[in-house]
Chain A
Amino acid sequence: MTTVDGRHTLDREAERLAYKPPEVRHDIQGDMETEERVEKAMHHFVKNFNSQTASYLDGCLHCGMCADACHFHVRTDDPRYTPIWKLELFKQAYKREAGPFAFFYRLFGFKKKVTIDQLEEWQHLLYDSCTVCGRCSLVCPMGIDIAGLVSMARHGMFMAGLIPHELHETAKRAAETGSPLGITADKFEDRVEWMADEHEVEIPMDVEQADVLAVMSSIEIQKYPQSIAATAKILNAAGESWTFRTDGFEATNFGMLSGNPGWQKEATMKLINAAIKIGAKLIVLPECGHAYMALRWMGANMYGKPLPFKVMHISEYMADALNKGKIKVKKVDTSVTYHDPCQVSRRGGATQAARDVIRHLGVDFREMEYGGDYNWCCGGGGGVVTIKRADPLRHRVFKLKMDQVEKTEADELLSSCANCRQSFDDSQEHFNWDYKMGSLMEMVAENLEDEA
């Protein structure tokens, strides 16, 4: 390998002043005709054009500053990873089909029809190289929410059957079995029982009436089952009337990540219905970033009216409980830094919650340089962690995170997102990076003061 630090490759064959387009890799799903694919992509692009997206797509200045905010571009210097370039086809469709001057764009062919070759090429840009982390949205001088647009552009890609296989399979499994990792209600019940035994904690399941509905993410159920126990401990300690439900336990939403609004709605409605059924006043979301975006901010829009209950991320719940004295924690003698899940902090607005919790833990907290809202993404968000072929790129990008974390010289790295945790674990393994990575929720659960 000739890569020295990933940024400056020793490629002596490279053409001067030109970039070498990486080989176009693309997957296809289904057996549609080419034309049908293009049509589908176009139709589902167009469906998204409302006054908000239109102003965004019309407002771009081509200043290119978003490139400087994107970890994929910063780490590779590949101009194609410029965030707004990832939306080029979406923009092209907008200008031709729905913009104020669409008629002229079509009449004079100022913007060509999107082609299958382009769509295939953009698969890599819209999926493999975008975690929808939204850092670019903050640098844009026009204030364009680029990340939000990427999510919408994915609708067209999904419907055209032009998304990475692994993501498609994961999303499909989620739609069919209710969980991206194929965790059925029975399996969930098993795991919950196991954890209840293992950690000697009472875990209510399928209670008919409860104030709080707790939900989990598949990654936790599968990979970090102690989270189930931790959730239970905290909710018990707070004295909540709460329950897990087998008819609504999966918080992740791969319909959203992959770009299938139908599946997204299905997954969201399961949770909403379960909560309504038990008369819950609150859904506590697990340590998962995109689940927060899917239910907290997009849930009501899927439902078509305001939700009859509140939605909180577990970090928000903990902060609230600690601030109100509903739970108490022992002081922990360690130094920690905190990795903000993009969808919870930067895009979700709950940045302060985790910091409140950390304050209560009394640890030596070391904020990363430009932590919080400007945090570098773990590299695995937006479904990227599921895309196998994107691994080398994701690892390359992770270097930024590593540097940011190491600079704090904290003993431990905390986060509040199982997806982040998974990509940390994977990248740690890849780099043989020995760093203690933990869950904020688990730290709280382990240090609860009993009498509270």
Chain B
Amino acid sequence: MDLLDFARGPALQVAAYILVAGVLWRLVGILMLKEKPEFSEPRKPGGFMAALKVIYTRSFTAAPFKRATLYPKMLAYVLHIGFFAVIFLFVPHIVFFEGFLGFDWPGLPNNVIYLSGVAAVVAGLALLVRRLTDPVLRLISNFDDYFSWFVTILPILTGLIMPVRMGVRYETLLAIHILSVAVLMIWLPFGKLGHTFLVFVTRGTTGMVFERRGAKT
């Protein structure tokens, strides 16, 4: 078994098991803690729709905070959108998803994907620089933040190197790329990258709590 077979086979398999188990572990571990009772008379119906509303609305910055958070938000948008484009709109990736989802969707030309990837990496670097220099971020950051940054950027970088090649064999680069994705998958449930699924829980919770009060969400 060569490196590529290992990456595509056991490495991805184990990563997928850990990803699925880890995500459920964390979600169940959180959601099965005791419930907070709520007896107050609601001003507005809260519930599921309220959760959905905030899941959507918190994707945008409220006007009063726009100026102060413009720079990091902009970078975060570029990072997220770029990353999402790379993951979900690069045709070989779509084929990857089709492999276990059973359906596919249209992709984008590779040049657009490369550009998205580069943009995501640049935004990621800018965010890292910010994390390393901004006093607030320096204070509140820990290992998780830096490691999560690393495992997020790594697959984009290893992916972007593939068309450039730089004298390394394609299958080796592909193997490294897949392995870096496996690392991302393994780490995702445990660190702050858990926000990929927790964001629905936290925003949803706030939506339900505050919407029923009729308060600002």
Binding site for B on A (CB under 8 A): 19, 49-56, 58-65, 67-69, 73-74, 77, 79-80, 82, 84-85, 88, 98-101, 137-145, 296-301, 303-307, 310-311, 345-351, 370, 373-374
A51 to B44, CA, bound (A): 23
CB pair B190–A68 under 8 Å, yes or no, is no
* Interface set, chain B 57-81, CB cutoff 8 A to A: 58-59, 61-65, 68-69, 72-73, 76
Q: Is the pair B35, A50 in contact by a Cβ cutoff of 8 Å? A: yes
Q: Is the CB of B213 within 8 A of A85?
A: no
> A64 to B140, Cβ gap below 8 A?
yes
> Are A79's CB and B202's CB within 8 A?
no
Pick the residue among B35, B62, B137, B206 that contacts A51 (CB under 8 A).
B35
* Docked CA distance A54–B35 (Å): 11
Identify which of B65, B138, B207 contacts A79 (C-beta below 8 A). Answer: B138
Nearest-neighbour CB distance to chain A for B65, whole angstroms, equals 5
The 8 A-B residue pairs with the shortest CB-CB distance in the complex, in nearest-first order: A100-B29, A349-B214, A300-B39, A373-B216, A143-B203, A68-B68, A349-B215, A370-B64
Complex contact A79–B135 (CB within 8 A)? yes
- Contact A65-B25, Cβ < 8 Å, known A142-B198, A143-B203, A347-B215: no
In-complex Cβ contact of A310 among B28, B39, B41, B73 (8 A): B41
Once the chains bind, are A347 and B213 in contact (CB under 8 Å)? yes
Task: List the A side residues contacting B59 at CB < 8 Å.
Answer: 141
Interface residues of B toward A: which range?
A: 35 or more
Closest Cβ of chain B: how far from A437's Cβ, in Å?
A: 23
**Other CB < 8 Å A-B pairs besides A54-B29, A101-B29, 11 of them?**
A51-B32, A58-B26, A62-B144, A65-B65, A67-B136, A68-B68, A82-B139, A88-B140, A138-B65, A144-B202, A351-B215
Q: How far is the CA of A144 from the CA of B43 in the complex (A)?
A: 21
- Fill in one digit per residue for B42-57: 1 if any A CB lies within 8 Å of its CB, else 0: 0110000000001000
Contacts of A138 in B (CB 8 A): 62, 65, 216
5 contacts between A and B (CB under 8 A): A51-B34, A138-B216, A139-B69, A142-B58, A370-B64
Chain A residues, Cβ within 8 Å of B41: 300, 306-307, 310-311
Question: Smallest distance from the beta carbon of A105 to chain B beta carbons, Å?
Answer: 11
Contacts of B63 on A, CB cut-off 8 Å?
A: 370, 374
Q: A56 touching B37 by the CB < 8 A rule?
A: no
| CB <8 Å contact, A62 and B192 | yes
Which residues of chain B have C-beta atoms less than 8 A from A374's C-beta?
62-64, 216
Task: Select which of A50, A53, A67, A346 is within 8 A of B215 by beta carbon.
Answer: A346
Contact across chains for A350 and B134 when beta carbons are under 8 A apart: no
CB distance from B208 to the nearest CB of A (A): 9
- Chain A neighbourhood of B204, CB < 8 A: 143
Taking Cβ atoms with an 8 Å cutoff, the residues of B that contact A are: 25-26, 28-41, 43-44, 54, 58-59, 61-65, 68-69, 72-73, 76, 134-142, 144-145, 190, 192, 194-195, 198-199, 201-207, 209-210, 213-217
A67, A84, A310, A345 interface centre (most CB from chain B within 10 Å): A67
- Residues of B with C-beta under 8 A to A99: 29-30
Closest to B68 in A: A68
| A296, B59: Cα distance in complex, Å | 30
Q: How far is the CB of B202 from chain A (nearest CB, A)?
A: 4
Taking a contact as CB atoms under 8 Å apart, the answer to whether A85 and B139 are in contact is yes
| Given A142-B195, A348-B213, A55-B201 contact (CB < 8 Å) | yes
List of A residues within 8 angstroms of B58 by Cβ: 140-143
A297 to B62, Cβ gap below 8 A? Answer: no
Query: Which residues of B lie under 8 Å from residue A301 when comparing CB positions?
Result: 37-40
User: Is there contact, CB below 8 Å, between B62 and A139?
Assistant: yes
Given A65-B69, A306-B39, A350-B214, answer yes or no on A58-B194 (Cβ-Cβ < 8 Å).
yes
How far does the alpha carbon of A104 sit from the alpha carbon of B65 in the complex, in Å? 37
Report how far A85 CA is from B136 CA in the complex, Å: 9
The distance in angstroms between the C-alpha atoms of A180 and B84, with both chains bound, is 55
Q: How far, in whole Å, are A61 and B210 apart by their CA atoms in the complex?
A: 21
B36 and A51 form a contact (CB under 8 A) = yes
Task: Find the A residue at minimum CB distance from B34.
Answer: A50
A68 to B34, CA, bound (A): 33
A52's partner among B40, B72, B205 (CB-CB below 8 A) is: B205
Q: Contacting B209 at CB < 8 Å: which of A52, A64, A80? A: A52
| Contact (Cβ within 8 A) A296 B40 | yes
With CB as the reference atom, state the residue of chain B lying closest to A370.
B64
Which residue of chain A lies nearest to B139 when distances are taken between CB atoms in the complex? A79
Find chain A residues with CB under 8 A from B210 CB.
Answer: 145, 347, 349
Instruction: Look across to chain B and name the residue whose beta carbon is closest to the beta carbon of A372.
Output: B216
Instruction: Decide if A51 touches B202 in the complex (CB within 8 Å).
Output: no
Contact A62 B213 (CB under 8 A): no
B54 with A65: CB separation less than 8 A? no
Query: Using Cβ atoms and an 8 Å threshold, which residues of chain A touch B25?
Result: 100-101
With A and B bound together, what is the CA distance between A307 and B205 in angstroms? 23
How far, in Å, is A109 (CB) from chain B's closest CB? 13
Chain B residue numbers with a CB within 8 Å of A49 are: 33
Most chain-B CB neighbours within 10 Å: which of A51, A74, A101, A137? A51
Chain A residue numbers with a CB within 8 Å of B64 are 370, 374
Give the residue of B26, B72, B209 whose beta carbon is less than 8 angstroms from that of A100: B26
B137 and A64 form a contact (CB under 8 A) = yes
Please report the C-alpha to C-alpha distance between residue A300 and residue B33 in the assembled complex, in whole angstroms.
21
Can you name the residue of chain B whose Cβ is closest to the Cβ of A110? Answer: B143
Q: How far is the CB of A101 from chain B (nearest CB, A)?
A: 7
Most buried by A among B54, B139, B195, B199: B139
Q: How far is the CB of A370 from chain B (nearest CB, A)?
A: 4
Contacting pair B202 A50 (CB below 8 A) = no
Do B203 and A142 touch (CB < 8 A)?
A: yes
Q: Could you say which residues of chain B place their CB within 8 Å of the CB of A56?
A: 202, 205
The distance in angstroms between the C-alpha atoms of A58 and B144, with both chains bound, is: 12
A307: B residues at CB distance < 8 A = 39-41
A63 partner, pick from B28, B38, B72, beta carbons under 8 A: B72
